[in-house]
Chain A
């Protein structure tokens, strides 16, 4: 079936540096999401994005986080600057409609050192 691709699959970065996580959503999907999962813990919602705008965000979506999808290219999550507690697996998902099934990517494993 259609897939969501996340690039890179793994990233190690020095604390304080900027990182951009890339997501290539399913081509006809209109809603995009980022979730964060710390090893062994629950999946946590970060943000959703539709029509070029953030629709909802959680308390975890700190000021250091930003999302965009310029001209229908990758849907990106940027963290600037990174902190140690940002180490986690970040999952991207997309859906056609707001109540449609999600398609998840395989995640980007981010390690901030």
Chain B
């Protein structure tokens, strides 16, 4: 089945530094979404980006579909960015069927 690998597994940054998170997947994905999972567990959709480059606020995602990879760039990190970032993929149906292992980000003052 489809596998979704994320790297790094964890990352510690000083406030103000930039973060680059990676997502690699094993087979074709027509949907790709980045989520933020708070330390308390709740999830928030950040960016839907099945191909190309998208921006929202301090977030930029670039997905190269034929290479089966996506990145999430967080600029000028803040302590409130701390949490786990999940990449999820789906094929055709619109359902995100596979989630990655996540990158746990800690931003320290």
In this assembly, does A27 line the interface, its C-beta being within 8 Å of a C-beta of chain B? Answer: no
Q: How many residues of B contact A (CB 8 A)?
A: 22
A102 touching B45 in the complex, CB below 8 Å, given contacts A43-B86, A43-B88: yes
Give the residues in chain B near A91, CB-CB below 8 Å.
43
Which of B40, B43, B48, B98 has most chain A Cβ within 10 Å?
B43
Give chain B's interface residues, CB within 8 Å of chain A.
Answer: 31, 33, 35, 40-45, 48, 86, 88, 93-102
Give the residues in chain A near B93, CB-CB below 8 Å.
48, 55-56, 98
* B100→A42 contact, CB < 8 A: yes
A-B contact pairs, 24 of them (CB 8 A): A42-B101, A45-B97, A45-B98, A45-B99, A48-B93, A48-B95, A55-B93, A56-B93, A56-B95, A56-B97, A89-B41, A91-B43, A93-B43, A97-B94, A98-B93, A99-B94, A101-B45, A101-B48, A102-B33, A102-B43, A103-B45, A106-B40, A106-B41, A107-B42
In this assembly, does A75 line the interface, its C-beta being within 8 Å of a C-beta of chain B? Answer: no
Interface residue from A35, A97, A104 paired with B42 (Cβ < 8 Å) = A104
Q: How many residues of A contact B (CB 8 A)?
A: 26
Give the residues in chain A near B48, CB-CB below 8 Å.
101
* A43→B99 contact, CB < 8 A: yes
Instruction: Output the least CB separation between A107 and chain B (Å).
Output: 5
Assembly CA distance A111 to B99 (angstroms) = 23
Give chain A's interface residues, CB within 8 Å of chain B.
Answer: 31, 33, 35, 37, 42-45, 48, 55-56, 58, 89, 91, 93, 95, 97-99, 101-107
Assembly CA distance A43 to B31 (angstroms) = 16
Give the residues in chain B near A45, CB-CB below 8 Å.
95-99
The residue of chain B having its C-beta at the shortest distance from the C-beta of A107 within the complex is B41
Instruction: Output the least CB separation between B14 and chain A (Å).
Output: 27
